[in-house]
Chain A
């Protein structure tokens, strides 16, 4: 008898192969883990019209209803079910085994519109030499997405948005910001719903005019911002930008340029949103790629129908994100239309169709080449927007009532992120409250006076987990406080670039108002702005 066994190296390599064929373990966000666990069924009371049993019985009419039940959604005017409702529906429909089982097959798929290279059938060479039905992407029909990844957007306080809009109010130029916050359940309005709660808006370095804005990349600040946000438990949840034009009547009203008759999102903006949504996906164990969709929202501040300034929140559908990732669409000069690229030797573009009701009221399927309306990329909701709001009793993370000047504005709103403003906040009695400000924390991180551990402790103080005494005693904090004091004691000196202050040493600290130009000077005996002496 001859016995054969695998040598140890071969056995190891086979093990490695089988191990790599298993999907890597996906770590979901806490909100997803929370909602997955809940059953999501909606309890109903005994229906007085139809139930024919007593209080302790249950029948079809009062049975708890599933979160994806279409009749329930229609009754409550929920046009899109939440993502977790959709997931539950998919799990039931596909009879998916529980996640630990060996025959677990993820029910969700991410759309992919690129050619499969090399072809799975292996009967021909790569494109453009060969193409078959196995490797070519299937035709796309743009239908509305019936679920949403995010059901509501909440800003912790109205001042967050107000301070953001202040830039436009002062300069007339548009502004861009990144939304940092966290996710919470929104189950009272939408079964298994998720809401995005915005705690702060970070404004990256950018170039602003009234008709365009350009982000300056690479952004060196971004890493610091991300680490501060991460330490505070905040994620990047979206972006916001303004598109406001004053209507010129002097009444403080603005032009409503985004409405049903024109566009809500231009094609270029929609593709930019889709691009960012692709970069911040939601980790999902139930998707074949480990990711599914994105919760990144796009908020646009623009004029509403009454001429007031309002926020509208949008998301691009997963199909749209897939199309942008696989690079088959491009923006057009007409904001209402998206162009589909034409098939070339480098790239095979699949057929795209969209459905709409034509003038005779019939559902018509039309080829989307060369263009199709942008609306087909948006997750349509009521008026094509996600709902947004402010909480009834605000409990914001950042509680500062003395807001620190916002970064990268270069003094456009009249205040600078200079040492003077730092000093005024860290030397006051309300220091803990003043520190509860995202922008100040970023600035302190940038200044780099605090050691890593001290800074981490500072963040804990802000979150209320430690008392401030733990930080104030540290050497690095003392250094910071001293430097701030020194810098602030100079007349308008410090680190701000645009200050035109005198370097006069030994200047007085008293504030005085110039009689000629009414500028509020911090000290010195001649006015900083008009140069006239401080006559008594």
Chain B
């Protein structure tokens, strides 16, 4: 997660407790010697020159909502430019922690383990429209130093915002994981609101009894080598279902995919052989209705409707 700006300048090493407040705040701080315990509870910002600053790199912090101590998350540091006593958090983190503007938060330095695996769940099906989710996510997560389980992070791509829930992280243990300079294995859950596409059942006039169906007379072919199988991707991100039916008709004879017994696959592949016993005539092929000529002309859609506009300004005077 990238902080908008989290700056600790102005808070010297002696502060016992740090506050993240978005309003001006003046406080006195006490000084403490270095004999402070390691694994310090309090963040110590002023590391000018003092190498005894007990802090692990990369700098990762656990932020806990003071009001609701159960809500916590982890974050790294973007910049140190905020005013004294203030921390600026991204909106999604404020939502996760249920912090309102100006409320207190406890910030604690932690060392997080390097992440190995993370499972993400996009919160909307728009995520599926992205053509290259891997590249998008890589870029987005590179802005983060760490990820926490059950966080909902927001990323922006192509002027759109996508919410992603972190379902699971490994190594687990309730803490976050550090994602700085690691190879992270990513898995996806189905986005919220995703429906399985319904299988379209093709209607046939032929009754499906065993003797008269085409299936009883075909034999499935052995698997043939198909060089370019796969569904293909469009560059503009549209789903392939938007194509007109005409493309399917061409595809069905060119792709040498293995023909199975099912009727659906036979339309997209080389049609299987039909073995009829001698002296049998079969009439049960799917019926293609006759297109009357007048119907065809009526179906043609209107093209280029609407009044035209001319760019040339009318000559006045």
Contacts and interface: CB of A to CB of B under 8 A. Distances in A.
A334 B266 contact: yes
A331 B273 contact: yes
A371 B271 contact: yes
A278 to B, nearest CB: 13
Nearest to A257: B287
A202 interface: no
A534 B274 CA distance: 56
Interface in B209-244: 211-212, 214, 217-218
B283 interface: yes
Interface string A145-178: 0000000000000000000000000000010100
B288 interface: yes
Nearest to B215: A333
Given A209-B212, A261-B288, A261-B290, A333 B271 contact: yes
A467 interface: no
Contacts, number: 90
Contact of B274 (A241, A243, A331): A331
B48 interface: no
Nearest to B278: A217
B284 A211 contact: yes
A212 B279 contact: no
B134 interface: no
B253 interface: yes
B147 to A, nearest CB: 53
A432 to B, nearest CB: 37
B64 to A, nearest CB: 67
B206 interface: yes
Interface residues of B, number: 31
B281 A213 contact: yes
Contacts of A305: 290
Contacts of B212: 209, 211-212
A267 interface: yes
Interface in A96-152: none
Chain A: number of interface residues, binned into ranges = 35 or more
Contacts of A514: none
Q: Which of A214, A261, A267 has the most CB of B within 10 A?
A: A214
B207 interface: yes
A371 B272 CA distance: 10
Contacts of A11: none
B270 interface: yes
Interface string B236-258: 00000000000000000100000
B279 A371 contact: no
Q: Which of B211, B266, B290, B291 has the most CB of A within 10 A?
A: B290
Interface string A318-355: 00000000000011111101010000000000000000
Contact of A371 (B205, B253, B289, B291): B253
Nearest to A207: B280
Interface in B261-317: 266, 270-285, 287-291
A256 interface: yes
A217 B253 CA distance: 36
B273 A339 contact: yes
Contact of A214 (B270, B275, B280): B280
A63 interface: no
Contacts of B206: 211
Interface in B193-208: 205-207
Contacts of A370: 270
A9 to B, nearest CB: 47
A232 to B, nearest CB: 26
Nearest to B253: A371
A241 B270 contact: no
B279 A241 contact: no
Given A262-B287, A333-B214, 15 more contacts: A176-B281, A209-B212, A211-B283, A211-B284, A212-B282, A214-B279, A256-B289, A257-B287, A262-B288, A267-B274, A272-B281, A330-B274, A333-B271, A333-B272, A334-B266
Interface of A: 174, 176, 209-217, 241, 243, 245, 255-257, 259, 261-263, 266-269, 272, 305, 330-335, 337, 339, 370-371
7 contacts: A174-B281, A213-B283, A331-B273, A331-B274, A332-B274, A333-B273, A339-B270
